[in-house]
Amino acid sequence: MNERRFPAALIFGTAVVLLWAAVALAAPWVAPHDPTRQDIGNRLKPPSQDHLMGTDSLGRDTFSRLIYGARPTLGLVALVAALMAPMGLAIGIIAGISGGWVERSLMGATNLVLAFPPLVLALAFVGLLGPGLINAALALLLTGWPAYARLSRAETLILRRSDYIAAAEMQGITGFRLWWGHLLPSCLPSAQVRLALDLARIILAAAALGFLGLGIRPPTPEWGMMIAEGSRVVFDQWWVAAFPGAAICLVSLAFNLLADGLRDRADPRR
Amino acid sequence: MFVVAQSLDDLVSLDPAEGFELSSLQAFTALYQRLVQPDRNQPSIVRPVLAANWTGGVRSLTFELRPGAIFSSGNPLRPEDVIFSLSRAVRLNRAPAFILNELGWTADNIDRHLLKLDDRRVQITWSKDLGAPVVLNILTAPVASIMDEKEALAHEAHADAGNGWLRSHSAGSGPFKMRRYIPREALVLDANVSSPGDAPLLKTLILKNVPDAATRRLLVEVGDADMARDLGPDQIDALGGTPQVKLLKFPSAVIHYLLLNTANRQNPALANPALWEASRWLIDYEGIADKLLRGQFQVHQAFLAAGSPGSLDETPYHLDVARAKAILERAGLGQGVRIRLSVFNQPPYGDIAQSIQATFAEGGIALDILPAEASEVYSQIRSRAEEAAWLYWVPDYFDANSTASAFALNLEDGTKTLAWRAGWQIPELSAESRAAALEPNAEARATRYRAIEASVQRSSPFVIALQARTVIVVRRPVTGYFQGLNADMAYYDRVSK
Amino acid sequence: MTLRVYPVRLMLRGLGTLTVTLTALVFVTFALSSLSPIDPALQLVGDHASGSSYAQARHELGLDVPWPRQFARYVIGLAHGDLGTSRSTGQAVREDLERLFPATFELATLAAIVAAFAGIALAVLSARRPNGPLDSLVRIISIVGNSIPVFWLGLIALLVFYARLRWTGGAGRLSDAFEYTIDMKTGLVLVDAWRSAEPGAFRDAAAHLVLPVLILAAYALGNVTRLTRAALLGEARKEYVLAARAKGASEARILWRHVMPNARGVILTVLALTYGNLLEGAVLIETVFARPGLGRYLTSALFAADMPAILGAILVIGTCFVTINGLTDLAVKLSDPRTS
């Protein structure tokens, strides 16, 4: 196996993700223009020195909107990541430890949610409850946790009977400390990979929701919505839709690379 | 074959008693005829169509039907068809029924108001206080389309007066008849050569559903479509130099306005007339009409659209931030006023809202834009939950009374006019509106309405800002298309290419 | 457990899962709709309608009862095969779905076939020489493929290949010359165009399918390639392969006679997953390419709060999803010689 490539993917992926987060957080200092300032006389201009990525249909600077647009995406990703994985992992561990009807019903619920087509369900959720960051995050969260539950339950079942856990229990470590300190860490490597992949998928799903008009409210820039706005003029002013799309690709790609790199590092056959 | 690229996504029903969306209303003009219809070039004049002539009485009109008129099915026009069409519209009580309710018609009394006098004459009476001119105008509305009773009842199911079948079929006498309707995809119409209004020049008319404006523009540019409707100003600009297409511009009766809900308890600033006045000076009328929505709108600041009888064409307001700020300061509203503005989540409302947001911000008022589905916005307005909204108004029937009784009538008897929805108390103005509806003389009516419009323009919680223009793109060889002031007046019968 | 009874039990269990899942889907959708701010009756009659029209509409739409009762009514209707009437097309939902499902099915299936062939081929080629240049290229392609928003790709492709180059057909399924003259018996545009024997119709239909199918396939390709390659490599490391190689078998023989059959289970699962993903991708692609289908039907229905249509579309998509997964599970279990 070529040792050199994997660190490359990991490094590149991590670098881009960190850069993106940094840019999003530092947006007010990095963006050259106010992303909501309209200049109707200057609308739909191609890229130039003053407007590196041109202007949109209200004369707003696309480059600045792109930078600020990183924020809702970052917010969404952080929100979902912070809740989805812990929730799923916890449910799986509880199921694995409890056994009996608790396990059966939790796993039943997990399988049920897994059987739903995720994007369609997210669409229905946001479509019926109304657009917005919270609703979109909630929708993606509720369709994403089962994978983690399955993962952690499988790990828990294997470890439950192992000597490793038996030894810990003999030392008097039980309950929460047991699974925080012992069960959870063994789930983490696969969970990490899964999470990175999911984040890539979530960015795309959030963009899709934004594209369909179910995303964040204006005038807050958001990449998916920018693509939708740009699609109205794509045949002549291609840049309005092209740049946000490229940004989504880049960040999603970074997460995919990150996932790839993490997976290869976690691969026990190395 | 003539292909029109437009959005048909709003179309729910092609039964004239039920359909009330723009696409269906325009289809009714092609598929059906009414007793009387507005003259194309002078819409204030009402012309006989399925009626040959009429005589008036006290709250009554007697129509003599046009001899030799037949429906697309071959059945001749009889007074029974008129009675059937009008009474079923009232009884079915769907979305457009309220227009006929203006005459005082209800499901209980409709039979008494429609009388067959003999084989050629039918008498129509009404109970409300309205003059004959208003009633004739109401009868030009698409809901009053006359349909073939025998044909409709032949397809009746579950006593629905043919409603289920008519949703996707036609039984009229208009210049076209329906060949096929594929929901959300297309409406295919064939020429109805026996139409009393003369056969159309086209053999086949296809209204094709293309929801995306950029695609519509592409289709007409490359020739896959002969006509494209509802292109945004950017698409039209992009077509600018293309020699294969030309632009048709028609004045439209759609007006856009800002509504401030003075009845909203949570935001007391809204009830302050100073805020209303300041708002009038905080909209960049020319910027929006000329630069943002280039050519698709003109500035108009009264509730009767320019080109309608009785319209007030003065536009005293323009963007004046300093003046607005002074007004707000004097009223103690200089700081911290925050308003939530509901808008439809489609173009051009988003752009208009963002422009207003910017200019209001300069005046010291913070606007939070809440885009939502049309029905959600209307829902809020019905329950008076919104703070402010940017809306458009389309007259329900082609008479000043339709609009005046929305903006300038608040009877406190629960009738939910626009003025009521905005919480605007206007006992005197309401009385004037009602008097204007009774006025028999056209000139005098126009004068009365102008006075009412001036009041609304200067002292209401409505800021009327724009009047739309219908801009349609057609391929160069196309001739003969005409679009009237009212949205439903789309005339395809003289089109050829 | 004899071979004959096992699949029957599996199928029954599968049916059970299907029913439970679909019931839950419908239940959740009803619950969500009770939280929805959209008023469908108002949507239907419009803002200017009279109070009595509005009240009548509410009653006719069944909105004047609490949502659990609406749910019960709907389920009972379902049992009779009645899916209600769409509020935004005015037609029976069942007719709408019968008309539109073949279109989405056609798109997703063609894309799945392309993705399957291309994906497996690429995976095989790259697995033969792991970490070689081709393998690296394929890995890059598949990662990139997973990162592109499919609707954006569709938009750009439409711009380049239709608007600029005019190589392919544009929006819709057929040009207008054919659209209204072909009788759509099966709803599958390629089949109907062929059967209509109109000159040029089949070519036209194909020209309109090229872009959407290729884009959807590209969307799925990434996953298929990556997972198939991983499965192949996983099998290739096993001892029986080493043994076969030691015995002198050629790489090709090892691949086709040993590795692929054993990786079959994973590959089938991957393909099933892909098909499911494609159904979802079709939702976005149909919007971009203005093709009629379930995806567009669902999104329009969501914007119009058209509950019967939303439920109908979700039921169909959900059923497909669960059925595909179930059938795949069945196929995997049946084809695995270890389970009989």
Q: Nearest to residue A12, comparing CAs of A261, A263, A269?
A: A261
- Please name which of B27, B69, C328 lies closest in space to residue B19, comparing C-alpha atoms: B27
Q: What is the pLDDT of residue B222?
A: 81
| Residue B160 in tokens | 């629905």
B116-130 confidence digits (pLDDT tens): 999 999 999 999 888
Put simply, whether B315 touches A (Cβ < 8 Å) is no
Chain C contact for A129 (CB, 8 A cutoff): yes
**Average pLDDT over every residue of B188-192:** 93
pLDDT (average), residues A23-44: 79
Q: Return the bridge partners of B389, or none.
A: B259, B342
pLDDT score of C324: 79
Nearest CB partner across the interface for A208, out of C32, C36, C151: C151
Q: Token pair of C53, please?
A: 């029209």
Q: Sort A172 into a burial class: Cβ within 10 Å, 0-12 / 13-18 / 19+.
A: exposed
| Model pLDDT, residue A266 | 66
Å between C256 CA and nearest CA of chain A: 24
Residue C61 structure tokens: 């739409």
CB pairs below 8 Å between A and C: how many?
A: 133
Strands B204-209 and B2-6: parallel
The domain ranges of chain B are 9-166, 252-469
Is C50's Cβ below 8 Å from some Cβ in B?
Answer: yes
Secondary structure of A220-262 in HEC code, one letter for each residue: CCCHHHHHHHHHCCCCCCCHHHHHHHHHHHHHHHHHHHHHHHH
Class of domain C94-339: mainly alpha
CA-to-CA dists, residue C158 to A238, C161, C290, angstroms: 12, 6, 11
Instruction: Look up residue A112 and give its two tokens.
Output: 């049920």
Tokens matching residue A210: 């934004």
Strands B186-191 and B204-209: antiparallel
Interface test with C, best of A16, A105, A116 (most C CBs within 10 A): A116
Sheet holding B51-57, edge to edge: B51-57, B60-65, B121-125, B114-118
Closest CA to A63 of A247, A265, A266: A247
Q: Which of residues 149-178 of C touch B (CB under 8 A)?
A: 162-163, 166, 170-172, 175-177
First to last CA, chain A: 8
Per-residue pLDDT, B271: 87
Tokens of residue A243, six digits: 């740049």
Contacts of C248 (CB under 8 A, 6+ apart): none
> Which segments of chain C have a pLDDT < 70?
1-7, 37-38, 170-171, 176-183, 333-340
For the cut 90, the answer to whether the pLDDT of residue B147 exceeds it is yes
Classify A91 in phi/psi space as left (phi over 0), alpha (psi -120 to 50) or beta.
alpha
pLDDT at B86: 95
Q: What's A192-223 look like in SS3?
A: HHHHHHHHHHHHHHHHHHHHCCCCCCCCCCCH
- pLDDT the model gives residue B467: 93
Cβ-defined contact of B416 to C51 (cutoff 8 Å): yes
Smallest Cα–Cα separation from B144: which of B36, B65, B47, B54?
B36
Q: Kindly state the helix (H) or strand (E) to which residue B483 belongs, with its residue range.
A: strand B482-483
Question: Which CA distances in Å does B367 have to A80, B351, B389, B478, C168?
Answer: 30, 14, 11, 45, 46
Q: Which residues contact A3 (CB under 8 A, 6 or more apart)?
A: none
Q: What is the pLDDT of residue A245?
A: 87
The full DSSP string for C264-332 is: HHHHHHHHHHHHHHHHHHHHHHHHHHT--SHHHHHHHHHHTT-HHHHHHHHHHHHHHHHHHHHHHHHHH
* Beta strand B51-57 pairing with B60-65: antiparallel
Residue B10, number of CB atoms within 10 A of its CB: 14
- Rounded-to-integer distance, Cα B271 and Cα B264, Å: 8
Q: Note whether B20 contacts C: Cβ–Cβ < 8 A.
A: yes
Beta-carbon-side half-sphere exposure of residue A214 (alpha carbons within 13 Å): 28
How distant is the Cα of C338 from the closest Cα of chain B, in angstroms?
51
Q: Are C56 and C46 in contact (CB under 8 A)?
A: no
Backbone angles phi, psi at B460, to 5 degrees: -105, 165
pLDDT at A2: 47
Alpha carbon distance C301, A153 (integer Å): 38
**Is-contact A63 A226, C-beta < 8 A?**
no
Per residue, the 3-state secondary structure of C74-140, as one string, reads: HHHHHHCCCCCECCCCCCEHHHHHHHHHHHHHHHHHHHHHHHHHHHHHHHHHHHHCCCCHHHHHHHH
Q: Where in chain C is the domain with CATH 1.10.3720.10?
A: 94-339
Domains of chain A (ranges, CATH numbers):
2-33+53-266 (1.10.3720.10)
- For C11-59, the DSSP string reads HHHHHHHHHHHHHHHHHHHHHHHHH----HHHHHH-SSS-HHHHHHHHH
Per the model's pLDDT, the better-predicted residue between B165 and C150 turns out to be B165
**Gap between the Cα atoms of B312 and B307, Å rounded:** 10
Q: Do B369 and A217 touch (CB under 8 A)?
A: yes
Query: Is the pLDDT at B4 greater than 90, yes or no?
Result: yes
Highest mean pLDDT of the ranges A158-172, A196-210, B244-258 = B244-258
CA nearest B200: which of B26, B1, B37? B1
Residue C74 is predicted with a pLDDT of 87
Q: B65: which 2 tokens? A: 């039907």
- Each residue's pLDDT tens digit, A49-67: 888 888 887 778 888 888 8
Over residues B356-376, mean pLDDT:
84
The answer to whether B346 and B291 are in contact (CB under 8 A) is: no
Residue of A nearest to C284 (CA): A208
Q: Lowest-pLDDT range, A261-270, B373-382, C127-136?
A: A261-270
Secondary structure (3-state) at B459 = helix
| Cβ-defined contact of C151 to A211 (cutoff 8 Å) | yes
| pLDDT: which is higher, B287 or A171 | B287
Task: Give phi and psi for B313, each to the nearest 5.
Answer: -100, 0
- The pair of three-digit structure tokens given for residue B407, joined into one six-digit string: 């903006």
Rounded-to-integer distance, Cα C293 and Cα B482, Å = 34
For chain C, the straight-line distance linking the first and the last C-alpha, in angstroms and rounded, comes to 8
- Hey, CA dihedral for C169, C173, C176, C179, is it positive or negative? positive
Residue A21: Cβ within 10 Å count: 16
**B273-313 per-position pLDDT tens digit:** 999 999 999 999 988 888 777 778 899 999 998 888 888 99
Distance CA B231, CA B229 (A): 6
Q: Which of A36, A219, A232 sits opposite B347 (nearest CB)?
A: A232
A212 in the Ramachandran plot: left (φ > 0), alpha (ψ -120 to 50) or beta?
alpha
Mean pLDDT (chain A) is 79
In whole angstroms, what is the distance from residue A155 CA to residue A184 CA? Answer: 9
**Average pLDDT of the residues in A109-138:** 77
Q: Are C221 and C142 in contact (CB under 8 A)?
A: yes
Q: Which CATH superfamily is domain B252-469 in?
A: Dipeptide-binding Protein; Domain 3 (3.10.105.10)
Rounded to 10°, the helix A239-266/A184-211 angle is 170
* B337-344 and B365-372 strand pairing: parallel
Question: Residue A6: its pLDDT value, please?
Answer: 55
How high is the pLDDT of residue B43?
Answer: 80
Q: What percent of chain B has pLDDT over 90?
A: 49
CA A174 to chain centroid, in Å, comes to 33
pLDDT at A270: 39
Which of A6, A73, A114, A119 is the best mutation test for C, with the most CBs of C within 10 A? A119
What number of other Cβ atoms are within 10 A of residue B198's Cβ?
Answer: 10
Determine which of B14-18, B474-478, C107-111, C132-136 has the lowest per-residue pLDDT on average: C132-136
Predicted TM-score (pTM) above 0.90: no
Return all residues near B296 (Cβ < 8 A) that are at least 6 apart. Answer: B232, B233, B236, B348, B468, B469, B471
Q: What is the pLDDT of residues A144-168, one digit of tens each?
A: 888 888 888 887 877 777 777 777 7
Cis amide prior to B316 (ω within 30 degrees) = no
A258: closest chain C residue by CA: C143
pLDDT-derived band at B176 (thresholds 50, 70, 90) equals very high
Q: Which residues contact C232 (CB under 8 A, 6 or more apart)?
A: C123, C124, C127, C255, C259, C260, C263
Q: Is B197 exposed, middle or buried (0-12, 13-18, 19+ CB in 10 A)?
A: middle
Decide yes or no: CATH 3.90.76.10 for domain B9-166.
yes
Write the burial class of residue A268 (CB in 10 Å: 0-12 exposed, 13-18 middle, 19+ buried).
exposed
- Closest-CA distance of chain A to residue C37, Å: 7
What is the model's pLDDT at position A265? 72
A252 at interface of C, judged by CB pairs closer than 8 A: yes
Best probe of the A interface among C152, C161, C162, by most A CBs < 10 A, is: C152
